[in-house]
Structure 1
Amino acid sequence: MIYKSENFRNLKVASVLNRAISKVLMQDICLANSHLITISKVEVSNDIRNANVFIIISQDCTDKEAIIKELNDSSYFIRKAIFSYVDLRYIPRLYFKPDYCFDNLVRINQILESQ
């Protein structure tokens, strides 16, 4: 699912969700594999029913897919906890996905430093 959040409302909802999900992950949700998780981007669909949440997981983590699966499995509870932080009529369905931008940046830096 690729979303084009070009209108102002979608960008605003994505920004609010980004902050709210960060608060929920820091304070309310306890993950079994507790590693440093950073939300890099939230993309909201045009009808604001679905949202892709791109996360960056710390480099020392070996099983990133397990963390993504755990977040997707607990997305209902995360949506429920978001209601206490935001004033939206509807909280979109959350799909957590890994963001490989930082990993690619580190790999490019290593290649450039080795030359």
Structure 2
Amino acid sequence: MGVRVEKIQEQIKHEVSQIILRGLKDPRIGFVTITSVDVSSDLRNARIYVSILGNDKQFEDTWQGLKNSVGYIRQELAKHMRLRYVPQLSFYPDTTMEYSAHIQKLINKIHQSDQEGITDDGNNDK
């Protein structure tokens, strides 16, 4: 991937974050963090990965609000960026936080079972 594409990805990430934070008036949209942006090499499509904080209902409401705001966000992006073509935007949930929490749980479980194994073996002779 070229340096230009990486710069455009970072600029889109910054601009979309600002648009969501300041430009959207949809009450359904809660706390959203743009975690990454992947732009195709021809700059026609952008995949925006978002992390949404809240319970399942807040997640669904925010997700619907984002999906319904794609046109407005793209229009505002066109005003802030100097590109021949503004990419088609599509939002995707970023599940890395949930995945890392799951991995951490597994590590804790293994660690806990190791600790219990040490005390059960009778290796605590002093």
> Is TM (by shorter chain) over 0.5?
yes
Query: Match for 1:67: what amino acid?
Result: T
Amino acid at match of 1:62: D
The higher radius of gyration belongs to 2
1:21-44 superposed Cα distances (whole Å, 9 cap, x missing partner) = 000000001233232111111000
Matched, 1:61 2:55: yes
Q: Is the 8 A contact 1:22 1:39 kept in 2?
A: yes
Q: Relative contact order (alpha carbons < 8 A, sep ≥ 6): 1 or 2 greater? A: 1
Higher relative helix content: 2
Q: Which runs of 5+ in 2 are unaligned?
A: 113-126
Q: Is the 8 A contact 2:29 2:66 kept in 1?
A: no
Quote the RMSD (CA, aligned, Å). Answer: 1.7
Which moves more between the two structures, 82-91 or 11-20?
Answer: 82-91
Find out whether 1:96 has 2:96 as its counterpart.
no
TM-score by length of 1: 0.83
The 2-side partners of 1:31 and 1:112 are apart by 40
Contact residue 68 and residue 97 of structure 1 kept, 8 A: no
Which segments of 5 or more consecutive residues in structure 1 lack a partner in the other structure? 1-5
CA contact (8 A) 2:35 2:50 kept: yes
Any runs of at least 4 consecutive aligned residues in structure 1 with deviations exceeding 4 A, and if so which? none
**What is the CA deviation profile of residues 60-90 of structure 1, one whole-angstrom value per residue up to 9, with x for unaligned ones?**
2314345334312221100111233322232
Counterpart amino acid of 2:25?
A: C
The share of aligned pairs that are identical, in percent, is 26
Aligned residues: 109
